[in-house]
Amino acid sequence: MDLYNTKTNLYPVMPLRDIVIFPHMVAPLVVGRQKSIKALENAMANKTEIFLATQMDASVDEPLQDGIHTVGTTAVVMQLLRLPDGTIKALVDGKKRGKIVSFLPNDNFFMAEIEEVIEKETSGPEVVAFVRQIRVALDDYAKINKKIPKEVLKSLASIDDPSRFVDVAISHLSLKTEEKQRVLETFSVLDRLSAAFEFIKREIEISNLEESIKSRVKTKMEKTQKEYYLSEQMRAIQKEMNDQGGGDDLSELEQAIKNKKLPETVQEKVDKEFKKLKMMQPMSAEATVVRNYIDTILSLPWYEKSEVKIDINEAETILEEDHFGLQIPKERILEYLAVQAQVKKIKGPILCLVGPPGVGKTSLSKSIARSMGREFVRLSLGGVRDEAEIRGHRRTYIGALPGKIIQSMQRAKVVNPLFCLDEVDKMSMDFRGDPSAALLEVLDPEQNFAFNDHYLDMDYDLSEVFFITTANNLHSIPLPLQDRMEVIKLEGYTEEDKLQIANGFLAPKQLESNGFQEGDIIFNEKAILEIVRRYTKEAGVRNLERNLASICRKVARDRQKKGTEDKKYRITLKSISKHLGAPKYRFGLAEDKDQIGLSTGLAWTEVGGEMLQIETTLMPGKGKLTITGKLGDVMQESAQAALSYVRSRAMRLGLLPDFYQKVDIHVHVPEGAIPKDGPSAGITMATSMVSALLRVPVRREIAMTGEITLRGRILPIGGLTEKLLAARRGNITHVLVPSQNERDLKEVPIKIRNSLCIELVDHMDEVLQKALALKEGTQVFADVPMESICADISDSSRNFPAH
C-alpha cells in the first residue's frame, strides 16, 4: 500500500456503467472504453488509486462530467489483464467513499479532485440493533434466495464495523443501480443500515411471492397437464371405439357445422359454442348442454325450403279428393288461397277452423298443406298454460329445451311448412305467464320474422310459415287472437254424411293401414248405420273411424289365426255386435211414452249438439226450488226465471195463486257428472215445470231450445245447426226454435232442415201449447181461472186427461 500516493487528493476517474463499487468490495471490471483504459493505465503507472464513480445513464458511451455521480469509491487496481479483443479486465478493491469536488482539465481521461467523506452516526445502540436485525434478515434471505453464498454470510459474521458491514451486505443484494448509488451516497451509517434493512425485508417479501407464484403455476401446470393427458386418453379411447363404430364425434359435428348454411349471427354463435365445446371434457354435464344447443341449431331449418305453389284448380281437386262434403268450408279455403296466391305473401288473417271434434279440421289442414306443396306440422295447444312451453326455457335451467314452436320447426325441417296450431281454445293462462301473448307474437306477420325463443336466445324467422289454427269453441279463444283470425266453421255431420264418409274415406283408409287389400272387408251400409247410431254419439266421425279400425284389427286377427289370407269378410248388421260388443247407446226416442214433468232440450257443447232431458217433480213443501245436475250459474238463474214465469201465469194455467207455497219443486238435469251451463234450456225447464204442475205429459217427439225471460218471451240461441243435428241423432221429429233464430235457420243445410219439423216460437205460451200432450181441442190456458182446485198437491193440477 505504501506504493500508492495517498497524500494527494487528485485521482483519475473511471465512470462505471450499471455497477456501484462500495468500499471493501473486490470486483472484476471489464473495461472497453478508451478513456477508462487510459485512466486505469494512469493509475497503474502512477501507482495511485482510482476513483470509481457510476455514470447516471448507462447507455451513454462518452459521459460528460455532469453525467457522472459525484459520490463514488476510491479503489486500488489489483490486477490488469489485457484481453485479445483490446478490452481490459481489471480487478479493483474498493477503499473509501469520496466525492468529486472538481474536474481537472485533461483530454485523455477524467481527472478530479476528490474529497474524502466523513461518515456520521457510526455507532450507538440503534446501530447495533440494526446490525443484529440485518444479520437475522440476511440469514432468512439467504435461505430462500440462493444468490448469497454461504461464504459471504460467514465473512459478514466476522465484520464488526457497522459501516463496513452494511456496505458489504448491500453489495451482495440484488438491487437496482440507483438504489445502490443512493446507499453509497448515504453518509449516515444508521440511515444506511435502516435502508439496507428495508431492502432486505422487501427482497424477502418478493422472494416469498415469487416462490408462491411459482408453486401455484406449477400446480396449475400439473393440473392442466393432467387434464390434457386424460382428455387425450379419452379421445384416444373414443377414437378407438369410433373406429369400430361411427366416426369421430367432434369432427363429425364440426363437419356438420361447416355443411350447414346458417345466417351470419347464428354462425358466429355456433362457432363460439363449438370452440367452448372443444375445450370441455366430452362427457361433462356442461359439454352435453353445449352439444345439445349446437345440435338444436343444426337441426333447425334456416334456409331449407319446399317449393310452394298455389294452383287453385289443383287445390280444389285435392280438397275434394280428401274430404266429403264440407262445401262451405272448402269454398272459403279456396278463396283464401286464391288471395294468398295473388298477394304472393303470407299476410292478413290466420285461418281458424272451428267445429266439434272429428269433423276434419286437422285433416283439412293437411290437405291444404298437400295442395300447396308445404310440409305439415301440427302442434296441440290443449293444456298449454305456461308461456315457457311456447317460448322455451333459458339455457341456464338444467334440462332446458326450446319451446314447442321451435321444436315443431325442427320436425318440419323447412322454413315454410304449414303449421297447424290445434285447440287454440284450450290454452289457459295462470301465474306462469300467458301463453296466448307468445302465440300472438307467433301469429303476427309484423312480428314473427324475429320470434325470440328463450332457449335459442336469438331471433328465428317464422314469416314464411303458413299458420292454421283450429278450435272447438270460438268463445274460449282470447279476443286479441280472435281478432287476427278468419273463422271458418265446420259443422257436425248427418247420418247420411257419416255413411258416405265411412264408405268413401274412413273404411278404405283403415283397410290400407291395417294391411288389407281393397274389398277384403266389405262394410254393409246397415252395419255402418248401426255403428253410427248405437256405438257412437258424436258430431264428427272420430269414433266411427275408431270402431272401423277396431273391426279391421279383429278381422286381421281372425285371418291370421285361421290362416285364411285371402278370405273376404262382410260386416253386416248381425256381425257388428260380434266385433264391437253390445251397443253403447240407445237409438230412438229416449222414452217409450210421453212423461209428466220430463221435457227434452237441445244443448250445444264443444263436442257438438246434445239432447238434454229435464225432469221436474213436486213434493209437499214450502215453495223451495231445488236445482241439481251440476248446472252452472247461468242455467240456475234460467231455472229461477222459468219458475217466475210459471208463477206469473199461475192463474191462467189454472193454478192457485199461492200454489208455490205448498209445494217444493225439484228440477234435475240427468247425466249429473257432466257440467252444463247456458241460458238456452230456459223454455225446456219451464215446460217441464208446467207439465209437472198441471200433470200433463210432454210430447216425447218434441225437443226445444230457447232462452226465457220473466214474462215468457223467447230469446235466440247459438249453435243451431249442431242442435238440430243432435235432434236428428236422437230421432226427434219436432223442434221448437226461437223466432229470432230464423235467419240462422237459413244457414242450416237444407238436408237437415227438411228432415225435421221445425217450428218458430216467440213466446212460452206457444211452447206450452205445442209441447204439452193436451187432449185434442183443449187449451193449456184457461180463460177463467179454476179456483176450486189446488187445495193441496194431490189435486194441484187441473184435471187434464192424459194424452
Per CB under 6 A, residues contacting ligand ADP are 323-326, 357-363, 470, 501, 505, 540-542, 545
- Integer Cα distance of 275 and 285 in angstroms: 16
- Residue 407 vs 470, nearer CB to ligand ADP: 470
- Residue 321 vs 457, nearer CB to ligand ADP: 321
For the beta carbon of residue 159, count every other beta carbon within 10 angstroms: 16
- Integer Cα distance of 46 and 40 in angstroms: 10
For residue 802 the three cell numbers come to: 192424459
For residue 645 the three cell numbers come to: 214465469
Q: At 462, which helix (H) or strand (E)?
A: none
To ligand ADP, the closest distance from the beta carbon of 540 in angstroms equals: 6
To ligand ADP, the closest distance from the beta carbon of 389 in angstroms equals: 21
To ligand ADP, the closest distance from the beta carbon of 376 in angstroms equals: 12
Asked whether the beta carbons of 303 and 264 are under 8 A apart, the reply is: no
DSSP 672-730: TTS-B--STTHHHHHHHHHHHHHT-EEPTTEEE--EE-TTSBEE--S-HHHHHHHHHHT
For residue 217 the three cell numbers come to: 403455476
- Residue 70 vs 476, nearer CB to ligand ADP: 476
- Integer Cα distance of 409 and 123 in angstroms: 91
Q: Which residues are bridge partners to 648 per DSSP?
A: none
- Integer Cα distance of 442 and 725 in angstroms: 36
To ligand ADP, the closest distance from the beta carbon of 367 in angstroms equals: 9
- Residue 163 vs 362, nearer CB to ligand ADP: 362
Q: Which residues are bridge partners to 111 per DSSP?
A: 12, 104
Q: Where are the beta strands (DSSP E) in 105-148?
A: 110-116
Instruction: Work out the angle between the directed axes of helices 249-259 and 285-299 (0-180°, nearest 10).
Output: 30
To ligand ADP, the closest distance from the beta carbon of 277 in angstroms equals: 42
Closest residue to ligand ADP in the complex (CB): 360
- Integer Cα distance of 116 and 84 in angstroms: 37
- Integer Cα distance of 643 and 764 in angstroms: 12
- Residue 299 vs 503, nearer CB to ligand ADP: 503
- Integer Cα distance of 34 and 56 in angstroms: 19
- Residue 528 vs 735, nearer CB to ligand ADP: 528
- Integer Cα distance of 193 and 334 in angstroms: 104
- Residue 380 vs 463, nearer CB to ligand ADP: 380
Asked whether the beta carbons of 18 and 177 are under 8 A apart, the reply is: yes
Tell me which of 99, 260, 723, 796 is the catalytic residue.
Answer: 723
SS3 423: coil
For the beta carbon of residue 609, count every other beta carbon within 10 angstroms: 26
User: How many angstroms separate the Cα of 584 from the Cα of each of 525, 530, 534, 581, 675?
Assistant: 19, 11, 6, 9, 21
To ligand ADP, the closest distance from the beta carbon of 721 in angstroms equals: 15
To ligand ADP, the closest distance from the beta carbon of 359 in angstroms equals: 5
- Residue 325 vs 609, nearer CB to ligand ADP: 325
Tell me which of 194, 680, 688, 691 is the catalytic residue.
Answer: 680
Asked whether the beta carbons of 793 and 694 are under 8 A apart, the reply is: no
Burial of residue 476 (number of CB atoms within 10 Å: 0-12, 13-18, 19+): middle
Task: State phi, psi for 160 to the nearest 5 degrees.
Answer: -100, -30
To ligand ADP, the closest distance from the beta carbon of 582 in angstroms equals: 25
- Residue 549 vs 573, nearer CB to ligand ADP: 549
To ligand ADP, the closest distance from the beta carbon of 303 in angstroms equals: 31
599 is catalytic: no
SS3 272: helix
- Residue 324 vs 645, nearer CB to ligand ADP: 324
143 is catalytic: no
- Residue 547 vs 600, nearer CB to ligand ADP: 547
To ligand ADP, the closest distance from the beta carbon of 363 in angstroms equals: 4
- Integer Cα distance of 784 and 652 in angstroms: 7
For residue 170 the three cell numbers come to: 448491500
For residue 704 the three cell numbers come to: 226445444
The 10 Å CB-count burial string (b at 16+, else e) for 42-57 is bbeeeebbbbbbbbbe
For residue 145 the three cell numbers come to: 434466495
- Integer Cα distance of 501 and 68 in angstroms: 114
Q: Which H, E and C letters describe 329-349, residue by residue?
A: HHHHHHHHHHHHHHHCCCCCC
To ligand ADP, the closest distance from the beta carbon of 581 in angstroms equals: 22
To ligand ADP, the closest distance from the beta carbon of 509 in angstroms equals: 7
- Integer Cα distance of 518 and 568 in angstroms: 10
Instruction: Work out the angle between the directed axes of helices 361-372 and 327-343 (0-180°, nearest 10).
Output: 40
To ligand ADP, the closest distance from the beta carbon of 632 in angstroms equals: 25
For residue 412 the three cell numbers come to: 318440419
**Residues in contact with 125: Cβ distance below 8 Å, sequence separation at least 6, in sequence order:** none
Among residues 449, 287, 423, the alpha carbon closest in space to that of 355 is found at: 423
- Residue 539 vs 598, nearer CB to ligand ADP: 539
End-to-end CA distance of the chain: 159
- Residue 511 vs 708, nearer CB to ligand ADP: 511
Residues marked active site are found at 680, 723
